[in-house]
Amino acid sequence: MNDTLAGWLQVLALVVALGLSFRPLGGYMARVLTADHHGWAERLIYRAGGVNGDADQKWSAYLRSLLAFSAVSVLFLYAFLRLQNHLLLSLGTKPVSTDQSFNTAASFVTNTNWQSYSGESAMGHLVQMAGLAVQNFVSAAVGISVVAALIRGFNRKKTDRVGNFWVDLTRIVLRVLLPLAFVFAIVLVAAGTVQNFHGIHDITTLAGGRQSLTGGPVASQEAIKELGTNGGGFYNANSAHPFENPNAFTNLIEIYLMLVIAFSLPRTFGTMVGDKRQGYAIVAVMALIWGASAAVVTANELHNVSSTAGHAAGGMMEGKETRFGIWASALFAVSTTLTSCGAVNSSHDSYTPGGGGMTIFNMMLGEIAPGGAGSGLYGILVLAIVAVFVAGLMVGRTPEYLGKKLRGREMKFASLYILTTPVVALVGAGLAMALPGERAAMLNSGPHGFSEVLYAFASAANNNGSAFAGLSANTVWYNTTLGVVMLVGRFLPMVFVLALAGSLAQQQPVPVTAGTLPTHRPQFVGLLTAVILIVVGLTYFPALALGPLAEGLR
């Protein structure tokens, strides 16, 4: 009973904190993205990079800037990892192998933060700070930049301009991510998270054994890891490690940080398009899916126990931290798989078939409830376009959303966006299951082994980064294949989103008529939720039937 009460109280505290942040943070981000003036630090950065901060870009130029920046980031981080033994604060670490360097560089630049390495033993402090943590900032800013361009596509008329990538990127980092990360890094330090430059210490355990512990600038990386929905942990155990996540308070703070930007961006959307009701409708869909997922995972972990010991423990405690228990572990698992975060405070591989299957399904929905920093909002807006198009077909009208007609061109971009991630994830999982050498990397056979592989490719394609942990993925094949999947799953959908933004911006808005579908009312919330579950969710149903559903029926 006490655990149940504590569980409900932490859910209530999280919802209240997110609700209190929705208006001020969402409104602030809208002002950042629409401000006319540039700060002095921003002007210095523009001057150093040869950027005209007052120039707007076509969607194609915006895309080229984004891809060029990301390509240079991959190359820089790859070189950093290969040369880390020559750098300061390397702690005696060796160069990272070529395939693992590619995988890690692709992972952090795409906001995935999949880790096939042990952070405390494979990475020096400088690489963690100046390589990985920097990408935590800029990869999150790239996602928010793309959704800003899409919102401008709805908001502008008869133009081929959607903003300036370099301005958006710089403002988001300097005005949003850095201040918030700084404040919450101090909060985490005050709550017990480690922040130092200590090296490796050999200590004697209570049992008389020897153990090596590494310190480091953990809290500063932890704050942006969650805030930017990145997820890569300083330590191999990620947020289950007491140096990263020392107590129940920091656990709740980390969940809040995962969700706060993504849940506030609908307010930014509503403010920028001049109709805040549109933002309320979008955030209502996000909240419905998040709440339903949390209920499913928590119920399965509390009640779907398979042994007398499980009943005595009050639920499935295998793979979960006793510091947090089932409620906090389930809440963390739902939040990290419904965003593109990927941080974990428990082993998803040990979850029940229902709970583990739900975490896979969360990612397969496209991580839109609320999704990653920026990527969640542009994903759900694409699905909103599909929902409006479906409604238009039902009544025989040319569909329109926010005053823009949804013609064949716009629907092609939306359809290609929706199809890209499932194709990449399922083809990758199919190849892994078809190759005997890659099947050997599964620590389990049967449906659960397939679930491990399916989870890995769904996580990579959706840029999540969490894993079932039962898959030996640190091989040349998996490092290379998953790296490619991360890159395609991140940047190809962005191509279609920016092309859609450019197409919408060129239109002349049409007036609202009696036949216009209201997209701010409860019926649209229901329609959009149904489209998400049917159009996106059922795409993966055959694969889910072979994995977690089959396991649950055994």
- For 120-141, what is each residue's pLDDT tens digit? 888 888 999 999 999 999 999 9
CA 164 – CA 156 distance, rounded (Å): 14
Token code pair at residue 135: 């990408």
Between 421 and 121, the more confident residue is 421
- The enclosing H or E element of 213 equals strand 210-214
Whether the predicted pLDDT of 310 surpasses 50: no
- pLDDT, position 304: 64
d(CA 227, CA 245) in angstroms, rounded, equals: 14
Q: According to the model, what pLDDT value does residue 314 have? A: 52
Phi, psi of 57 (to 5 degrees): -115, 150
Using only C-alpha atoms, what is the Rg of the chain?
A: 23
Give the chain's mean pLDDT: 90
| Higher per-residue pLDDT: 450 or 223 | 223
What pLDDT digit, counting tens, does each position of 202-217 carry? Answer: 777 777 777 778 888 9
List the single range of 301-305, 426-430, 506-510, 542-546 with lowest mean pLDDT: 301-305
Q: Name 198's Cβ contacts closer than 8 Å, sequence gap at least 6.
A: 214, 215, 216
Digit-coded pLDDT (tens) for 429-454: 999 888 887 776 777 778 888 888 88
Least confident of 166-170, 257-261, 303-307: 303-307
Percent of the chain with pLDDT over 90: 66
pLDDT for the residue 439: 73
The residue to which tokens 């400088």 are assigned: 126
pLDDT over 80 (residue 532): yes
Give the number of other CB atoms < 10 A from CB of residue 219: 25
Quick one: pLDDT at residue 309? 40
> In terms of pLDDT, which residue wins out, 88 or 515?
88
pLDDT of residue 317: 80
- Going by C-alpha positions, the residue among 425, 423, 426, 401 that lies closest to residue 411 is 401
Q: Which residue has the higher pLDDT, 440 or 241?
A: 241
- In degrees rounded to 5, what are phi and psi of residue 527? -65, -45
- Between 74-78, 273-277, 340-344, the lowest mean confidence (pLDDT) is in 340-344
pLDDT tops 60 at residue 307: no
User: Mean per-residue pLDDT for 349-378?
Assistant: 90
**Strongest mean pLDDT among 52-61, 118-127, 313-322, 465-474:** 52-61
* Confidence label for 1 from pLDDT (cuts 50, 70 and 90): low
What is the share, in percent, of the chain residues with pLDDT greater than 70? 97
The model's confidence at residue 191, banded by pLDDT at 50, 70 and 90, is very high
> Is there a contact between 239 and 256 (Cβ–Cβ < 8 Å)?
no
Q: What confidence score (pLDDT) does residue 3 get?
A: 80
Question: What pLDDT, on a 0 to 100 scale, did the predictor assign at position 308?
Answer: 37
326-359 residues labelled b (16+ CB within 10 A) or e (exposed): bbbbbbbbbbbbbbbbbbbbbbbbbbbbbbbbbb
Query: What is the spatial distance between Cα 404 and Cα 510, in angstroms, rounded to a whole number?
Result: 6
What integer pLDDT is reported at residue 541 of this predicted model? 84
Could you tell me the pLDDT band of residue 554, with boundaries at 50, 70 and 90?
low
* Residue 380: per-residue pLDDT: 96
